[in-house]
Chains A and B, each alone.
Chain A
């Protein structure tokens, strides 16, 4: 049973517009959520995170929103740039931070000029 779900395998957005990537989770024990960005032939790189006690975290062009009642989080990228084209993974963790991450399957974001 998949505990972290990214239901959109791909997303195409025009340069300069807003990109919204969605993620749903089923495990109520998750207390921290992260977004990772991955380019081909490279390891994932940490992008932004949010604690379950917050509903929003912002870092430059990237904002993550958390709706605990709906078990849903989203990543907003504004404005979208060509370098944002990558696979984005939503991940969740519980148990104090020392355990492994539970990842979604990823969403391939394509920024069109």
Chain B
């Protein structure tokens, strides 16, 4: 069965460190997204990609970057982790003409 996976599921890191969260989907979807979920904010869009070599900034992109070298993966990098980036991160994907997005299980990141 097609799926979308995220790793690691839990991560603790120190302020200033570079961190990369992985997202891998086997749906063969063109569109991939990263969101963060915080209490009182719901889910907010960080970055998204329409296809290989394409990346776009979302609502809360400062301090984050993504790269899309193949269809299946969209890793999210925190260049220099800050305590404000402590959150639960969700990756999602959708087909070219689909509105529905399929979400991964999430990565809980704690920055100390």
Binding site for B on A (CB under 8 A): 4, 6, 32, 34, 36, 41-46, 49, 89, 93, 97-106
Contact = CB atoms under 8 A, between A and B. Distances in A.
Interface residues of A: mostly helix, strand, loop or mixed? loop
A44 B105 CA distance: 8
A105 B50 contact: no
A43 B105 contact: yes
A103 B99 contact: no
Given A44-B43, A89-B42, A105-B40, A97 B106 contact: no
Interface of B: 4, 30-31, 33, 35, 40-45, 48, 50, 58-59, 90, 92, 94, 96-106
B42 to A, nearest CB: 4
A99 B44 CA distance: 12
Contacts of B104: 43
B68 to A, nearest CB: 14
Q: Which 4 A-B pairs have the closest CB atoms?
A: A43-B103, A100-B45, A105-B42, A103-B42
A105 B41 contact: yes
18 contacts: A4-B42, A6-B42, A36-B103, A43-B4, A43-B103, A43-B106, A44-B43, A44-B90, A45-B103, A89-B43, A97-B94, A97-B97, A97-B99, A98-B30, A100-B48, A103-B43, A105-B40, A106-B42
B100 A100 contact: no
Given A43-B104, A97-B98, A98-B94, 16 more contacts: A6-B42, A41-B105, A42-B106, A43-B92, A43-B103, A44-B103, A45-B103, A46-B100, A49-B99, A97-B99, A98-B30, A98-B31, A99-B48, A103-B43, A103-B44, A105-B41
A8 to B, nearest CB: 13
A32 B94 CA distance: 14
A53 B103 CA distance: 26
Contacts of A46: 100-102
A101 B101 contact: yes
B45 A101 contact: yes
A106 B37 CA distance: 11
